[in-house]
């Protein structure tokens, strides 16, 4: 239990930030999941993957996820899209 006003404020900030980050991560996971599912139809997957990559960049810039993790996921999505479109031709 916080004994100082500053500690109480930090606790309030922690709660708000945790809730914001949790909501952001959940939305991000949903977006990435949709992008991976869209790979089944490669013709429509490009737009969905572009949206997911944008969401990853946004999350990384806000500190919701680390930048390296965002980059890794983006690269894997791009590679999967490339593989799916190459196989569809």
35: left (phi over 0), alpha (psi -120 to 50) or beta: alpha
Share of the chain above pLDDT 90, in %: 85
User: Which residue from 65, 73, 26, 60 is spatially nearest to 81, judged by alpha carbons?
Assistant: 73
Specify the DSSP class assigned to residue 1.
Answer: -
| Residue whose entry in the numeric block shows the structure tokens 């996971």 | 29
pLDDT for res 89: 61
pLDDT for res 1: 77
Residue 61 structure tokens: 């810039």
| Predicted confidence (pLDDT) at residue 43 exceeds the cutoff of 90 | no
Determine the length of the chain: 89
| Predicted confidence (pLDDT) at residue 22 exceeds the cutoff of 80 | yes
Task: Say how far apart CA 29 and CA 48 lie, in whole Å.
Answer: 13
- Count of alpha carbons within 13 angstroms of residue 6, beta-carbon side: 0
| 86 or 33, greater pLDDT | 33
| Predicted confidence (pLDDT) at residue 62 exceeds the cutoff of 80 | yes
**pTM attached to this predicted model:** 0.86
| Predicted confidence (pLDDT) at residue 9 exceeds the cutoff of 70 | yes
């Amino acid at each position: 239990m916080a004994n100082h006003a500053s500690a109480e404020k930090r606790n309030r900030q922690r709660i708000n930030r945790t809730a914001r980050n949790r909501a952001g991560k959940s939305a991000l996971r949903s977006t990435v999941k949709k992008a991976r599912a869209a790979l089944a139809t490669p013709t429509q997957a490009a737009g969905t993957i572009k949206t997911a990559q944008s969401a990853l960049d946004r999350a990384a810039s806000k500190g919701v996820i680390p930048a390296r993790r965002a980059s890794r996921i983006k690269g894997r999505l791009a590679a999967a899209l490339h593989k799916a479109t190459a196989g569809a031709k």
